[in-house]
Amino acid sequence: MRISCARLGSIVPIVLAACVSETVPSGPVLPSTVLVNEGNGVVLTVQGAGAVDLSAAAAGEADFQFVAHKNADGSAWGHFRQSRSTAAGTVDFEGIVICLTIAPNFPGRARIGGRVTANNSTNPAFLTTNHEVGDDVWFRVQDGGVSGDADDRSTTYGFKPILVDTSEQYCALPFDGLPWWNPASIFPLARGAISLIN
């Protein structure tokens, strides 16, 4: 016997929720923390989505999304993607998180390091041996809400040999001083938000 959604809604209200059409997120969906974490205890999450305003560098905008988690044992996991258009072609990378660090003395600042899982770039400058699947990649972000304003910021992606050679070395860098935290290379968001939760 077939029962319509409307009929089920009058019998069991919770079933009605299953019949309602919902918008499916456009980005990747990760399993829940409980399933992936296996009880290790997530102690830090940094996440964001939107577009970075690169107009100060005469480079338009870079669309981005990421989520990075750090477990109690220091291990990190998550994913990220950033894509932007340049005169020489697209710069578009996806990756997985392998390290995440913050500094208590600099609330809202985070460093994220990972490995490239997809290079969809067409810009020749980003098709070198330092930009291949499996290579290290890194970026830093700032949750401006932590310090009382809404000035969330992000960098573009860095690769060997910018400052360091590995993601782990990048995550271990200081959170102030040049060249480690250069304010000229971290840009405000054109739209979206970044949040740091610990």
In the predicted model, what is the mean pLDDT of the chain?
Answer: 83
* Predicted TM-score of the model (pTM): 0.78
Give the pair of three-digit tokens for residue 106.
């600099």
Give the pair of three-digit tokens for residue 31.
């399993």
Average the pLDDT over 132-140 and give the result. Answer: 98
Look up residue 163 and give its DSSP letter: S
pLDDT tens across 47-102, in order? 999 999 998 877 889 999 999 999 999 999 999 999 999 999 999 999 999 999 99
What domain range includes position 173?
A: 30-197
Alpha-carbon span 70 to 67, nearest angstrom: 10
pLDDT tens across 148-176, in order? 456 899 999 999 998 999 999 999 999 99
Total count of domains within the chain = 1
CB contact set of 69 (below 8 Å; sequence gap of 6+): 33, 37, 42, 44, 45, 76, 77, 78, 97, 100
pLDDT of residue 146: 59
159 lies in some domain: yes
Total residue length of the chain = 198
Give the pair of three-digit tokens for residue 30.
């990760």
192 lies in some domain: yes
Of the ranges 19-28, 29-38, 169-178, the best mean pLDDT one? 169-178
In this model, does residue 13 exceed pLDDT 50? no
19 lies in some domain: no
10 lies in some domain: no
127 lies in some domain: yes
Residue 10 belongs to what H/E stretch? helix 5-11
Rounding to the nearest 10 degrees, give the CA dihedral for residues 8, 25, 145, 55. -150
**Comparing C-alpha atoms, which of 189, 104, 101 is closest to residue 150?**
189
Alpha-carbon span 54 to 109, nearest angstrom: 19
9 lies in some domain: no
5 lies in some domain: no
123 lies in some domain: yes
pLDDT of residue 40: 65
pLDDT tens across 90-113, in order? 999 999 999 999 988 999 999 999
CB contact set of 89 (below 8 Å; sequence gap of 6+): 121, 122, 123, 124
